Amino acid sequence: MTKRSEPADPCFASENTASPASSASSDVSAQRAGPCAIIIFGANGDLTKRKLLPALYNLATEKLLPSEFAIIGISRTAINREVYQNKVVQDLTEFSTGKVDARLLDWFRERSYYLAGDVQNTALYQQLATLLNTVDKAHGTAGNYLHYLATAPGHFGDITQQLANAGLTQENAKWRRVIYEKPFGHDLDSARALNRDVKKVLGENQIYRIDHYLGKETVQNILAFRFANGIFEPVWNRQYIDHVQITVAETLGVEQRGEYYEQSGALRDMVPNHILQLITLTAMEPPISFEPDAVHNEQAKILQAIQSFTPETIATRAVRGQYGKGCIEGRAVDDYRAEPKVASKSSTETFVALSLSIDDWRWAGVPFYLRTGKRLPKRVSEIAIQFKCAPFVPFRKTQIASLRSNELVLRIQPDEGISLRFEAKVPGSIMRLGPVNMDFKYQDYFGSTPSTGYERLLYDCMIGDATLFQRADMVEASWAVVQPVLDAWKAQSAGDFPNYPAGTWGPEEAQKLLARDHRAWRDSA
């Protein structure tokens, strides 16, 4: 079969055109990824239509997707290629983050293929190997394959082994990579077992454990903010920082994910991946470079330095909650136990608050407080750095009763940006201080770039950059942090659920968690 000529499409007319955001901040243009095909297991799922396909479309508009490219969708549903092609176009039209171009939609249509089958059936992988040979010839994808496992985690090991048996993970002058959606395991033992299974047939350089939080601009900017600005790095330590607060709050309940959430809960769902990744980027030492292993080495050190929970510290440093009936944005909502596919007497937590200590020289004595939950008053994800108060001595003979601490907030969502609060004199004849906020929003300064949060991660995988993905030892170290809490909560079910009304900031115990240390959660309302 002869290779088709590329369409006369303005989206592919210029090889090295930077996106508006990148040209605003750098003279260096990102290079388009090399030829490849992406194979999506779970092609008919929500993740694919809402995130992956729109992300690929955005990469194409930014001229980062190769022209030698194809998509192969795999799912159980028995449909033919034409029906799937129409579905790809429909999904891109409905879920795109910006205006769609009809010519680019046609470009995606002709590069979309489909296989129906059971991922446990060996015959499916033989069909896949045959189809990939056809795709390589038709679109010049050069035998480079990115397998994206957007399936239930229980299938990860089987799919990986089947791909290897079919010769689809072997690298000879070509690359073969596998992306694993979270969660990677459901506890420490299962994470270790899954790591062992996939590493029997894959090298660590082929394994990409994805966390979509790391695709967000503000998360990526933590490293740039810390290590490119000389005014912040010298004070980024126990001498100047009092404590750190990390909040990941959602106003939504579990929606239609009750069955999954009953097996997961807030602790498993959010802490070993999203939140601990934020902590490592906030607390890590400067890497010697931004090469993947250099960054991962420093992240792993932080995870290994987090003080282990004991039965005694779990009682005072770990809080769980479950939402009851309440009010969100003026609307009455039901309790968690009334959600679809949730047990009527469920003891699954929908809220978690923890106090963590990092036992290293930089952070000794600086607590890291984290909280995450469903049905909270506001949707917000942020990292708040609370600095120590300045000495009060110069103000002791003024009318100022106390000094507020300076506060640096890295907002991850919904309004990505950075704010710094400090004290300034209020104009007038007496000495009075008032808080001043210096506020920066990415959209205001750099403009808006359509994004799902997956663009950078997919692109990095295509070019072989694993910096924003988790290494095997990091996954296991993350699970090791929370495993004692999981074990303790499993052994003794909560007796007071539900213990916070929907629309509030969690159970009263979460406030006491900081009050014991004579601190309080910052006002996120």
Question: pLDDT-based confidence at 396, cuts 50/70/90?
Answer: low
Distances (CA, A) of 350 to 23, 333, 360, 499, 515: 42, 15, 31, 10, 22
What's the pLDDT band for 440 if we cut at 50, 70, 90?
A: confident
φ and ψ of 52, to 5 deg: -70, -50
Which region holds residue 155: left if phi is over 0, alpha if psi is between -120 and 50, else beta?
alpha
Q: What's the predicted TM-score (pTM) here? A: 0.88
- Between the ranges 123-132, 207-216, 405-414, 425-434, where is the mean pLDDT highest? 123-132
Which range among 202-206, 207-211, 431-435, 507-511 shows the weakest confidence by mean pLDDT?
431-435
Distance CA 167, CA 38 (A): 16
Exactly one of 147, 274, 296, 518 is catalytic; name it.
274
155: three-class secondary structure by DSSP: helix
R_g of the chain computed on alpha carbons: 25
Taking alpha carbons only, the member of 181, 356, 193, 151 closest to residue 269 is 181
CA distance 207 to 195: 10
Do residues 207 and 198 touch, judged by C-beta distance below 8 A? yes
- Report the pLDDT value the prediction gives residue 24, as an integer from 0 to 100: 40
- What is the tens place of the pLDDT at every residue in 170-185? 998 899 999 998 889 9
Judge contact between 286 and 227, C-beta under 8 A: yes
List Cα–Cα distances, 376 to 250, 255, 270, 335, 501, in angstroms: 6, 14, 15, 12, 9
Which pLDDT belongs to residue 436?
78
Q: Per-residue pLDDT averaged across 326-343, rounded?
A: 93
Going by pLDDT thresholds of 50, 70 and 90, the confidence category of residue 17 is very low
**Residue 274 known to be catalytic:** yes
Which of the 8 DSSP states describes residue 453? Answer: S
Residue carrying the six token digits 């159970």: 507
DSSP E strands in 262-366: the ranges are 318-321, 323-324, 326-328, 331-333, 351-357
Q: What are the chain's domains?
A: 33-181 (3.40.50.720), 215-515 (3.30.360.10)
Tens-place pLDDT, residues 241-298: 999 999 999 999 988 788 889 999 999 999 998 999 999 999 999 999 889 999 999 9
Q: Give the DSSP letter of residue 7.
A: P
